[in-house]
Structure 1
């Protein structure tokens, strides 16, 4: 089968299209024929082996798993023993962070998959897993967002951000979104009540007050969280120095700030699927690439200027 592989750490230039062995089905796993993937910032962090401490998970001197990719959608080809939620022929979506989803076939644990709703496309659902889970868990699992609360979403036009705006709207929050001036209309169209353009206003001097501050971009200072929010969630970061500065300051403060990495699970994935089926949220796809252009797609999202998501398709 074809797969996008990496044998050393580096940029998109170290990726190659390679023929490798098809994965062997395991207990509590499903074999999936991949129809589409989407790209995430996590992909290029893993590709480059940065931040360095991530190499203790993904391989100290070279990548443990030579296949890149997290998000996928596709069709179940085989099911292993002790599978309760899926059968052959089911259309599924999910994510395997660091486990290699950019391939024609993947062997995925049952718990990292969800059922695609009727009428949805493989391209749309490949966009949902990591970004959608991060948005959902930021707002509901860790942010404890309640109906009627105010939320500030920094990085509101990106992959995680555009899902967060829509999810917050579904759950009855009043949303102030931070994005560039060129994305104001887009962010308003998906549910923001108010928009602050970071290229017009200094967000480090913004004096709005919110129940929850969610930073998907990673450039808010600890003083920004304290000034503007009653509680905060940090899921993105611009530099390691900045992230550690925020977390160290939080460690010496009583201000409730949470930093986390989303974890895939069947219940949350199917909650997102239900929201999509009911029209509450919709993935926005900015660019579509073929599987052979995955290195180009990774290079594009490294610019950190994506509106919504970038998707990559395999043969029909």
Structure 2
């Protein structure tokens, strides 16, 4: 099968489209024919081996996983033993934080997948796993969002951010959002009640008060959380030193800030799929690439200017 491989750490230029062995389905796994992928900052971090501490998980001197890729959607081709939730032919989507998704086939644990709702496009559902699940877990699982609370979302126009705005509104929050001035109309269109342009206002001098602060961009200071919020959730980071600084200061403080990495699970994916089906979540796809252009897609998201999601599609026609 065709797959994008990474034999050394580096930028998108180290990715190679190669023929590799098709995965063999395992116990508790399903084999999925990949139809679409989406690109995430996590793919870039894993590709480059940054931050360095991540190499203790992904390979100290060279990558453990040959094939890159986290998000995917596709069709179940084989079902492993002890899998009861899926059947051959099911349309599914899911996430593999270990990688392996940028390929024609992926063997994946069934507990990190869910079925695609009827009449929903593969590209739409490939955009959901990492970004929407991160937004959901930031707000609901970690942020403990309650109906009627106020939320400030920093980085509201990006992949995670544009889902966070919509999910916060679905769960009854009053949403303020931080983005660039060119994205104000977009962020308002997905439900933000108030939009703050970081290129017009110094966000480190804002004095508004919020129940929850969600930082998907990763440039808020510890003082910003304490000044403006009752509790906070760190999703992204600009530099590792900045995140360490925030967490170190928070260790000396009683202010409730949580930092987490989203964990894929069928239950959350099913909730998100239902919200997409009911048209409560709208996925904004900024650009679609062919699978042969996956390195270009990674280059695109590394510019950190993406509005919504970037999708890559494989050659496929429905019978």
**Common topology (TM > 0.5):** yes
**1:222 counterpart residue number:** 222
Provide Cα deviations, 1:242-272, integer angstroms capped at 9, x if missing partner. 0100000011110000000000001000000
Distance 2:182 2:86 in 1: 43
Q: 1: CA distance between counterparts of 2:315 and 2:271?
A: 28
Partner secondary structure for residue 217 of structure 1: coil
Structure 1 stretches of 4+ moved >4 Å: none
Alignment of structure 1 residues 13-162 onto 2, 5 Å: 13-162=13-162
The answer to whether the aligner puts 1:5 opposite 2:41 as a matched pair is: no
SS at match of 2:295: helix
Unaligned runs of 5+ in 1: none
C-alpha distance in structure 1 between counterparts of 2:136 and 2:116, whole Å: 17
Q: Secondary structure at the match of 1:167?
A: helix
| C-alpha deviation, 1:279, in angstroms | 1.0
Q: Which residue of 2 aligns with 1:238?
A: 238
TM-score, normalised to structure 1, is 1.00
1:280 and 1:47 mapped to 2: Cα distance? 33
Task: Please tell me whether the aligned partners of residues 46 and 98 of structure 1 are also in contact (alpha carbons under 8 angstroms).
Answer: no
- Matched positions, count: 316
TM-score, length-normalised on structure 2?
0.99
The alpha carbon displacement at 1:49 in A equals 0.2
Residue 169 (1) aligns with residue 169 (2):
yes
CA offsets per residue over residues 65-103 of structure 1, 9 Å max, x none? 110000000000010011121101100000001221000
Question: How far apart are the structure 1 equivalents of 2:188 and 2:98?
Answer: 34
Taking the aligned partners of 2:118 and 2:186, their CA distance within structure 1 comes to 26
Secondary structure class of the residue paired with 1:25: coil
User: Are the counterparts in 2 of residues 29 and 110 from structure 1 also a CA contact under 8 Å?
Assistant: yes
Residue in 2 that maps onto 1:196: 196
CA distance in 1, matches of 2:286, 2:15: 22
1:206-221 correspondence runs (5 A): 206-221=206-221
Q: Secondary structure at the match of 1:249?
A: helix
